[in-house]
Amino acid sequence: MTEHNLGRRDMLKGAATLGVITTAGCTGGGDGEGDSESYQISIGGTSSGSSTQQAGQALARAASQHSDILDISVQVTDGWTANLYEFDGDNISSMGVDNNSLSKAMNEEGPFAEEPVDSLPMQGFVFTNLEMHWVAMEDSGIESTADLQDGGYTIYPIQPGFGTRLLTEEIIKEAGLWENNEINNSNTSDIPGAVEEGRVDALCVYGANGAELSSWVQEVDVRSGGNLNLMEVDQNFEDAIDATPGALKKTLEPYGWEQDVTGITDSTTSWVLAGQWAFGPDVPAEATEEVARLSAEHGDTIRDADPTALDHSGVDSMTEAVIPDLEVHPGVADYWEANDAWNDEWTRGETNE
């Protein structure tokens, strides 16, 4: 399916009502505009310890402190890519998801070529930019991605089902480094143990927005015994990043590490992936408008819980990852329009109300 044919897809099909509860009246002492209804939404937040979980919990905290009409909870799921299948299966109605997974699903590419989805969520707004990069165990002898060319190493390309894994796997395969090496498919909760026991040679890890490593990477840091180093990235791998849609190439200086990871190089090349909140048609517009308001007006509360959170006080920053060919949830669109951040080239979606 091409982007040109997206209008034929029923994007409003069957999102589950399990994730949204609407109740009459509203209680609480927040500063939201009291309406006759209040809402509870449950966000598919990927695995425990992930950047999405952290961001979702921070958003839930802002809602509990500053909203009279919205309560947010966060579910554990198998990842950004997996969330699109959960949405299609009517299991979740709100989620974190990355733009690469959305693009692949829209065009029936990657894993969606063999297992396409019939329905897609509407866009909310960007909440993180994940900066993926290579590190190697010191005793592996690996210094560069060029060393992986000959094969024989055990590498960890992030947990299957994660949007970061989908993009990373695509780049590694483009670089010709997949088939000759052994792939460790551990969950992020298990990989720190594998690192501690020396069962992996090189890992793809990530931090968020130049601020902090993901929680599972922090655990890898602690349990690695100080034996990790940034890897140099050769021209072949840089070319693979350039050749992969959805990946933004960026020079990265290390941040968030307790150990010194600059034994080989002071900086490396990362591939960056934008993640955004997305919502189905059963989520009322009033609920997502409130999510947008909380993110824009209560960033201090959110950053207290998630130091990596993007600053959305200018509102325009919310729109930086919009995919033009995918609908924007009407509540988010309403908030953007009220704050002069809406672009008429985008498409406003509809709810089932």
- Render pLDDT for 280-332 as a digit per residue (tens, 0 to 9): 999 999 999 999 999 999 999 999 999 989 999 999 999 999 999 999 999 99
Q: Higher pLDDT residue, 7 or 65?
A: 65
323: its two tokens: 């995919």
Averaged pLDDT for residues 204-226: 94
Q: Could you tell me if 273 and 129 are in contact, meaning their C-beta atoms sit under 8 angstroms apart?
A: yes
Residue 54 pLDDT greater than 70, yes or no:
yes
Per-residue pLDDT of 71-105, as tens digits, reads: 999 999 999 999 999 999 999 999 999 999 999 99
Q: Whose CA is closest to 93, among 265, 267, 247, 287?
A: 287
**pLDDT on residue 119:** 97
Per-residue pLDDT of 168-203, as tens digits, reads: 999 999 999 999 999 999 999 999 999 999 999 999
Give φ, ψ of 329 to 5 degrees.
-60, 135
340: its two tokens: 């002069």
8 torsion bin: left (phi>0), alpha (psi -120 to 50), beta (else): alpha
CA dist 61 → 55, 81, 286, 294 (Å):
10, 25, 18, 10
Residue 11 pLDDT greater than 60, yes or no:
no
**pLDDT on residue 207:** 94
Dmax of the chain from CA atoms? 65
Residue 345 pLDDT greater than 60, yes or no:
yes
Q: Could you tell me if 203 and 229 are in contact, meaning their C-beta atoms sit under 8 angstroms apart?
A: no
Per-residue pLDDT of 138-149, as tens digits, reads: 999 999 999 999
**DSSP code string of 109-174:** -THHHHS--S--PEEEEEEEEEEEEEEEEGGG---BGGGGGG---EEE---TT-HHHHHHHHHHHH
**pLDDT on residue 32:** 46
Average pLDDT in the chain? 90
Tell how strand 37-44 and strand 70-75 pair up: parallel
Q: Whose CA is closest to 351, among 301, 291, 279?
A: 279
Residue identified by tokens 């601020």 is 211
327: its two tokens: 């609908």
Could you tell me the pTM of the whole model? 0.78
Q: Could you tell me if 129 and 140 are in contact, meaning their C-beta atoms sit under 8 angstroms apart?
A: no
Please, is 182 exposed, middle or buried when counting C-beta atoms within 10 Å of its C-beta (0-12, 13-18, 19+)?
Answer: exposed
Tally Cβ neighbours within 10 Å of residue 340. 8
CA angle 233, 236, 237 (to 5 degrees): 50
